[in-house]
């Protein structure tokens, strides 16, 4: 290693990109017109720009320089402006969206209430282990584009390239997908408007004026793009508000669901019945449906519903104090899994029979009419609350769209810093925004105008296919990277006592997460190749169904093999892994002593709260 590289590593620290930026510090006392401040904010900050210390392209004949890639992500000029409250709400409400509110309905129809509950509970346990592993890595290495960079550093640069582009493509397709979904949620009210002109397409009633969808797409796209142009603080504040709405809605539904269950809902045939429900629907029509294949189908839906939880790790690079905020935020995952998913879906399974035809009548995963939450409220005869729930669904869709620009832009910028994406995407302006990456993500959002065409459903299905398995690959890579990191950490003479945050489930939890993710991939292959009711499907329909269910897998494999052959990368050996670059230096012993002394001064209520949250 050259002395120049060592000097770069010694002098740089994550706090060098703290709030405010170097440019803002220099110009803070200078009075300038608003238009000039706005214009200058989009220029590259000369004090925060990264000078790449080494070339790691195939052209030099040396292959990929993983050390230089690690240094590039560690020296990212992203500003650290996310506070602990932002990170906690991203953790507790970040993945509450259409997967829970609407997608759970299809899972209920395919697998029954017991399969639905079991799949979400097991997937949640797996994800808890995964997030704990991510927290350990992110506290020690709060670097830009963390998922891809951890794979590059601890596994194989080619796999890091594949994971980075897999994650970026996931969010790039999710943006138009969610905007289309948001425009469709508005149809919930349009359909019930009296006197509207309508026409029939394949027996399904639709609003005649399709241009209305284009208007809603424009409104939602502009809103999401504007939020992200306010920088990471704008994203954090928006997600803080969105998460509060979603969390409040789920808690409110749980209370309402208990009341409906006790005071009466529907019988096994869907007829009004003002008597205690209990687990009546688990006996008739039954707790399970379609056997083991039905259970496997619900696992895929559960994985989709939990997607986005890993954003906590991505946001660590822009958090003021990752060591303090991340462990607290990660604890919230347990409560979200237990309270928001398991309890709410337990109630759904007692209020809506899996034989209800409305569960499968939804045109896509954003159709509120197919939401079991809405159906259960309608069955109880409450007229206003279904519209309120639809508003929550629309807010959830916008929240995911907001996260899609954030997640894709940060990942693209990190890939560019590692020379795994076009160099212009590494441009970060004086407000700490990956400007060109945000613009690219926003432009791809224009695909949402497919919502104003007759091919709306086909576009929705294929965009969903590109993002369907992305989270499974991401979570698997996080678990495997943590396993490899722990091995290298011990082999290179370090002890676990040196870690500022240690995963409570340890390496065993990472193995559990990795194996479970592999099983979900196998289940998705099976249900994609031979879905429920495949005997009644034509050969062409089965082929389309398989590729829509498994398209992401061959894309990832092709990217990995192609990059590995072109760059001639090798799987990293534990003794050669870089455990220095970008590492936050902690005096763990001093920190522990300070925290213990601080805890002694806490009142009892705070000790209980900190233990639980």
Distance of CA 555 to the CA centre of its chain: 19
Give the model's pLDDT for residue 508.
95
Residues 184-215 as b/e (b if ≥16 CB within 10 A, e otherwise) read bbbbbebeeeeeeeeeeeeeeebbeeeeebbe
Please report how the helices 231-263 and 344-351 are oriented relative to each other, as an axis angle in degrees rounded to 10: 40
* Structural domain boundaries in the chain: 78-195+206-582
Scan for tokens 């390239």, then name that residue.
161
486-492 contacts, C-beta under 8 A, 24 or more apart: 486/510, 487/574, 488/154, 488/574, 488/575, 488/577, 488/579, 489/579, 491/574, 491/575, 492/574, 492/575, 492/577, 492/579
**C-alpha span between 199 and 600 (Å, rounded):** 69
CB-count burial class (<10 Å; 0-12, 13-18, 19+) for 499: middle
**C-alpha span between 6 and 153 (Å, rounded):** 18
Low-confidence ranges of the chain (pLDDT < 50): 1-19, 22-23, 48-62, 193-209, 268, 363
3-state helix, strand, coil in the chain (%, to 5): 70, 5, 25
CA quadruple 529, 532, 535, 541: dihedral positive or negative? negative
**C-alpha span between 205 and 196 (Å, rounded):** 11
Cβ atoms 144, 76 nearer than 8 A: yes
Find, among 463, 564, 567, the residue nearest to 162 by Cα: 564
Give the model's pLDDT for residue 180.
76
Q: What is the pLDDT of residues 293-322, one digit of tens each?
A: 888 888 878 887 888 788 877 776 667 677
Give the model's pLDDT for residue 591.
64
**C-alpha span between 425 and 437 (Å, rounded):** 5
CATH class assigned to 78-195+206-582 = mainly alpha
Q: Is the pTM of this model over 0.85?
A: no
**Token couple for 234:** 């704008």
With residue 334 as reference, give the H or E element that holds it: helix 322-335
Pairing of strands 272-273, 265-266: antiparallel
Find, among 533, 474, 377, 568, the residue nearest to 171 by Cα: 474
Residues 261-297 as b/e (b if ≥16 CB within 10 A, e otherwise) read beebbbeeebeeeeeebeebbbeeeebbbbeebbbbb
382-389 contacts, C-beta under 8 A, 24 or more apart: 385/256, 387/188, 387/189, 388/249, 389/101, 389/249, 389/253
Which ranges of 191-310 does DSSP label H, i.e. alpha helix?
211-229, 231-263, 280-281, 291-306
CA quadruple 215, 220, 223, 224: dihedral positive or negative? negative
**Token couple for 574:** 């534990």
Output the CA–CA distances (angstroms, integers) from residue 134 to 209, 464, 480, 498, 501, in the order listed.
47, 25, 11, 17, 11
């Amino acid at each position: 290693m050259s002395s120049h590289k060592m000097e770069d590593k010694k002098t740089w620290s994550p706090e060098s990109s703290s709030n405010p930026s170097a440019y803002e510090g220099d110009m803070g006392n200078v009075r300038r017109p608003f238009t000039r401040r706005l214009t200058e904010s989009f220029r590259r900050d000369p004090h925060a720009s990264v000078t790449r210390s080494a070339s790691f392209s195939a052209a030099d004949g040396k292959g990929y320089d993983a050390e230089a890639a690690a240094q590039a992500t560690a020296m990212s000029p992203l500003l650290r402006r996310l506070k602990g409250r932002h990170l906690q709400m991203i953790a507790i409400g970040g993945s509450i969206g259409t997967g829970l509110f609407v997608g759970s309905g299809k899972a209920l129809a395919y697998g029954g209430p017991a399969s639905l509950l079991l799949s979400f509970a097991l997937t949640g346990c797996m994800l808890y282990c995964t997030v704990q592993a991510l927290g350990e890595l992110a506290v020690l290495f709060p670097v830009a584009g963390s998922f891809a960079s951890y794979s590059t550093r601890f596994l194989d640069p080619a796999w890091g390239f594949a994971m980075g582009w897999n994650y970026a493509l996931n969010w790039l397709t999710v943006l138009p997908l969610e905007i289309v979904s948001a425009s469709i949620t508005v149809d919930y009210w349009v359909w019930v408007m009296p006197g509207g002109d309508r026409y029939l397409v394949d027996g399904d009633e639709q609003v005649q004026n399709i241009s209305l969808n284009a208007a809603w797409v424009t409104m939602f796209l502009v809103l999401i793009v504007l939020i992200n142009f306010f920088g990471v603080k704008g994203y954090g504040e928006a997600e803080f508000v969105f998460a509060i709405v979603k969390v409040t809605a789920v808690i409110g539904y749980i209370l309402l669901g208990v009341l409906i269950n006790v005071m009466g809902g529907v019988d096994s045939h869907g007829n009004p019945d003002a008597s205690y429900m209990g687990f009546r629907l688990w006996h008739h029509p039954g707790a399970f449906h379609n056997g083991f294949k039905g259970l496997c189908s619900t696992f895929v839906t559960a994985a989709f519903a939990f997607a986005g939880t890993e954003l906590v790790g991505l946001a660590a690079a822009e958090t003021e104090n990752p060591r303090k905020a991340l462990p607290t935020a990660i604890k919230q995952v347990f409560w979200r899994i237990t309270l928001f998913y398991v309890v709410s879906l337990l109630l759904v399974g007692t209020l809506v029979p899996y034989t209800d035809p409305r569960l499968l009548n939804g045109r896509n995963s954003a159709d509120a009419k197919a939401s079991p939450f809405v159906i259960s409220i309608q069955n109880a005869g409450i007229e206003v609350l279904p519209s309120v729930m639809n508003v929550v669904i629309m807010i959830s869709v916008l929240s995911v769209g907001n996260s899609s620009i954030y997640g894709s832009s940060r990942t693209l910028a990190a890939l560019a810093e590692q020379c795994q994406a076009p160099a212009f995407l590494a441009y970060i302006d004086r407000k700490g925004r990956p400007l060109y990456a945000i613009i690219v993500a926003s432009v791809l959002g224009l695909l949402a105008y497919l919502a104003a065409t007759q091919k709306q459903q086909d576009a929705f299905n294929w965009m969903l296919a590109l993002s369907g398995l992305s989270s499974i690959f991401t979570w698997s890579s996080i678990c495997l990277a943590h396993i490899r990191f722990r091995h290298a950490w011990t082999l290179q003479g370090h002890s676990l006592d040196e870690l500022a945050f240690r995963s409570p489930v340890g390496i065993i939890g990472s193995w559990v997460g990795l194996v479970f993710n592999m099983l979900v991939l196998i289940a998705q292959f099976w249900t994609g190749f031979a879905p429920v009711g495949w005997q009644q499907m034509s050969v062409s329909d089965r082929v389309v169904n398989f590729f829509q269910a498994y398209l992401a897998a061959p894309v990832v494999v092709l990217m990995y093999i192609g990059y590995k052959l072109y760059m001639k990368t090798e799987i990293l050996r534990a003794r050669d892994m870089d455990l220095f670059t970008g590492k936050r230096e902690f005096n763990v012993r001093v920190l522990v002593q300070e925290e213990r002394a601080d805890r002694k001064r806490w009142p009892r209520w705070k000790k209980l709260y900190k233990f639980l949250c």
